[in-house]
Amino acid sequence: MYFPEEYKPILGPHETEKAIKDAKDTFERELSGALRLSRVTSPLFVPSASGINDDLNGVENPVRFSVKNLEGKNMEIIQSLAKWKRMALADYKIEHGRGIYTDMNALRPDDDIDAIHSIYVDQWDWEKVISAEERNLDYLKSTVRTIYSAIKRTAFLLSEDFPSIHDTLPEDIAFVHTEDAALEFPSLTPQEREKVLAKRYGAIFLIGIGYGNPPHSGRAPDYDDWSTPTEGGHHGLNGDIIVWDTVRSDSLELSSMGIRVDSTALLRQLDIRGCRERENLYWHRRLLGGEYPETIGGGIGQSRLCMFLLHKAHVGEVQASVWPEEAREEAKAHGALLL
């Protein structure tokens, strides 16, 4: 149910812990240098009803609590820092061509709990200042290639320290638009399309997440720009990095990212999703007032990346969270340990 039938972990628990730190330290360094990102400290919670928290697909409920010594002010645990980062770039006055990244720790209590999903989410959340002229598909693709190169370099350096681990990624990442994928595989679900394409190419960047009727997958209307027309009549300046996981024989999303909305795209996407009232929230008023720079950004799953690079079959082998008892029993039968 949770593990491939013949699965046995390559690394034991002690080696796994060492490899997790090695992978995280290496990739963080590679990503920071390649994209010119400075590390910053980020919040675990933000004020409710401020518009700062990421509402994901719009149906997930964040963990909320009140602060006794702030007259009961309501706060909520972040689900991601997609919007906070852009606000931080403005407040910290980061210059063009530079950006920030942070260790994001979030809770998503409505998420699935399975081999690749957990209610605890850890990401490298990053955001970079760009110009209005760089809000185009070529710049997006160039940034994707830079991130993919950082993943490839991390895989190589990890194999140097742990010879039993080998790199399964192709040399280059392929770019596929969700609208083209839907035309090629009209009878398949979005998840089935991702699996077919990831197996075909080994690594893909799927462009246009959030656009369409129905959309390939959900995306909030107020951070990624998924509705701007681009080349070939397509839409979207965002997407997901998806790889072929040879351990699970399935696709695995490692990152979601994109060029962020400008004021025009924000209002268009709020109208598309029927939530125009959000323009009155604190974060949205600042964007519409011209206080935020144009940016590109995203999140890269720390546990997902470690799971993939260390050839693990379950995210719980690299992340401490809560798991069903049957998952723990199945892990034990395979000689694996869920943290």
Helix and strand counts by DSSP (H, E) for the chain: 9, 11
What pLDDT does 219 receive?
A: 87
- Catalytic residue, from 22, 76, 108, 219: name it: 108
- Catalytic residue, from 42, 118, 123, 269: name it: 123
Can you tell me the distance from the alpha carbon of 247 to that of 9, in angstroms, rounded to the nearest whole number? 10
Q: Is 253 designated active site?
A: yes
Categorize the per-residue pLDDT at 54 as very low, low, confident or very high, splitting at 50, 70 and 90. Answer: confident
- Catalytic residue, from 54, 122, 179, 222: name it: 54
Cis peptide before 13 (omega within 30 of 0): no
Domain boundaries, the chain: 13-333
Residue 279 vs residues 253, 266, 284, 326: alpha-carbon distances, Å: 31, 9, 5, 45
Q: Is 256 designated active site?
A: yes
CA 326 to chain centre: 28
- Catalytic residue, from 167, 250, 253, 279: name it: 253
What pLDDT does 305 receive?
A: 98
> Is the pTM of the predicted complex or chain greater than 0.75?
yes
Check whether 55 has a pLDDT greater than 80.
no
Share the mean pLDDT of the chain: 94
Q: Is the Cβ–Cβ distance between 62 and 79 less than 8 Å?
A: yes
Q: Is 118 designated active site?
A: no
What pLDDT does 99 receive?
A: 98
Q: What's the topology of domain 13-333?
A: BirA Bifunctional Protein; domain 2 (3.30.930)
- Catalytic residue, from 32, 256, 303, 319: name it: 256
Q: Is the Cβ–Cβ distance between 81 and 95 less than 8 Å?
A: no
What radius of gyration do the chain's Cα atoms show? 20
Q: Is 240 designated active site?
A: yes
